Amino acid sequence: MTEGIHSYIKEAFGAPDVDIRTYSPLTLAYIGDGIYDLVIRSVVVAGGNTRAGELHKRTSQIVKAHTQAKMMDILLPLLSEEEQEIYRRGRNAKSPTMAKNATMSDYRKATGFEALMGWLYLRDEFPRITELVRAGADGLHLKF
């Protein structure tokens, strides 16, 4: 592991080291949701300056549960055994809420995807996050 964004933030705020194996899948999904959103927003903004409403429209189509679920169908064969296990833990987690416009199947796959993103982030594996998001976006022929 190399020093990454997560380590930098922890150091800047004096946050203690925590064994990420103790985090619940829903905690991993919580941070993973924000990280995935940040990656997609960064790519959308890199496409050029435009109205905030248009940026939001482009981003929300990509970060919704249905798109994340389809992305996982593409990514699953590319994952290591350890990554697959994190995804399964997230997918199988019992969440007290459900996304507004998603099927239960899509919501669970998306939660697994977000848990994987969170786990990779907490391990400072940002290059792997971008590699997977890029592979999923290419597989879905997403336009940013």
pLDDT in tens, 52-91: 999 999 999 999 999 999 999 999 999 999 999 999 999 9
Token pair 């296990």 in the structure block, residue:
85
The mean pLDDT of 14-42, rounded to a whole number, is 95
- pLDDT of 134 over the 60 cut: yes
pTM for this entry: 0.94
Q: What is the pLDDT of residues 88-132, one digit of tens each?
A: 999 999 887 777 788 999 999 999 999 999 999 999 999 999 999
Could you say which architecture CATH assigns to the domain 27-140? Orthogonal Bundle (1.10)
- pLDDT of 1 over the 60 cut: no
* C-alpha distances out from residue 51 to 14, 44, 48, 57, Å: 37, 12, 10, 10
For helices 104-122 and 126-140, angle between their N-to-C axes, nearest 10 degrees: 150
Residues catalogued as catalytic: 33
User: What are the structure tokens assigned to 104, written together?
Assistant: 């239960």
**If we measure between CA atoms, which residue out of 143, 138, 1 comes closest to residue 75?**
138
